[in-house]
């Protein structure tokens, strides 16, 4: 069994990766096409689940052909998605890690605009891929309870600019 998750950032893809790997007893690969990763990955491997961000691989269509199942993942709530990604962008230099809980505060407008642009571009690419593969896009809100006490955003300190 080989499963590929192609996602936008901040869509619960890491949680989904971990859940699938645990339930199906598969070896997981977290963003092997990211420039930050340095472990061995080969598409001929068996019994794996791979998570990648849509822009990390140069040809997701070709990549998907090597997998038995492909999951495409995004978010329905555009505002929350932009808030989450812009918060990540703004706070990474301060040591924030994407899987740590946080108190949301509004980042500078330029950071929010960068997040909006990136989300729009990646969603367009994901929609094209969905059509090419004939695979529906799954959504964070359908897979995870956005009101769960286990979510990463603990509270909002400032109102959203969106």
Residue ranges of the domains in the chain?
Answer: 2-156
Domain 2-156 has CATH 3.40.50.300: yes
Q: Which residues of the chain have pLDDT under 70?
A: 37-39, 95-98, 145-162
For residue 133, the model assigns a pLDDT of 97
Residues 110-152: pLDDT tens digits?
Answer: 999 999 999 999 999 999 999 999 999 999 988 876 666 554 4
Q: Identify the DSSP state of 136.
A: P
What would you report as the CA-atom Rg of the chain, rounded to the nearest whole angstrom? 16
pTM listed for this prediction: 0.85
For residue 148, the model assigns a pLDDT of 62
For residue 34, the model assigns a pLDDT of 85
For residue 97, the model assigns a pLDDT of 67
**Residues contacting 129, CB < 8 A, separation 6+:** 6, 54, 60, 61, 64, 72, 135
């Amino acid at each position: 069994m080989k499963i590929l998750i192609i996602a936008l950032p901040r869509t619960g893809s890491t949680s989904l990766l971990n859940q699938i790997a645990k339930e199906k007893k598969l070896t997981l690969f977290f963003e092997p096409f990211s420039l930050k990763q340095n472990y061995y990955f080969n598409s001929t491997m068996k019994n794996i689940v791979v998570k990648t961000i849509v822009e990390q691989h140069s040809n997701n269509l070709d990549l998907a052909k090597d997998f038995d199942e492909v999951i495409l993942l995004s978010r329905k709530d555009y505002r929350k998605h932009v808030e989450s990604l812009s918060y990540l962008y703004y706070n990474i230099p301060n040591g924030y890690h994407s899987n740590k809980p946080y108190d949301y505060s509004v980042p500078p407008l330029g950071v929010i605009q960068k997040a909006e642009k990136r989300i729009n571009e990646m969603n367009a690419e994901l929609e094209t891929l969905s059509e090419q593969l004939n695979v529906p896009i799954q959504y964070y809100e359908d897979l995870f309870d956005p009101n769960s006490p286990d979510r990463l955003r603990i509270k909002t300190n400032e109102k959203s600019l969106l």
